[in-house]
Structure 1
Amino acid sequence: GHPMPAEYLDQATALARDHGLAVHLDGARVFNAAVAAAGDPFTALRGIVDRFDSVSVCFSKGLGAPVGSALCGSKDLIRRALRWRKMLGGGLRQSGLLAAAAHHALDHHIHRLADDHALAQRLAQGLAGIDGLAVRSAQTNIVFVDVANGRGPDLLAHLARDGVLATGLIGLRFVTHLDVDTAGIDRAIASTRAFFAQGATAVSTRPAGSAVY
Structure 2
Amino acid sequence: MAESKAPDSTRRSEKSRRAIYAAALSLVGEAGYAKTTIEGIAARAGVGKQTIYRWWPSKAAVLLEAFLDLAEQAAEAADGDYEIPDTGDLAADLKGVLRATVDELNDQGFEAPLRALAAEGIVDARIGAQYVEKLLEPQAALYVRRLRAAQESGAVRDDIDPRTAMELLTGPLVHRWLLRTLPLTHAYADALVDYALNGLAPRH
TM-score (normalised: structure 1)? 0.29
| Higher normalized strand content (fraction of residues) | 1
| Higher normalized helix content (fraction of residues) | 2
TM-score (normalised: structure 2)? 0.30
| Bigger relative CO (Cα 8 Å, ≥ 6 apart) | 2
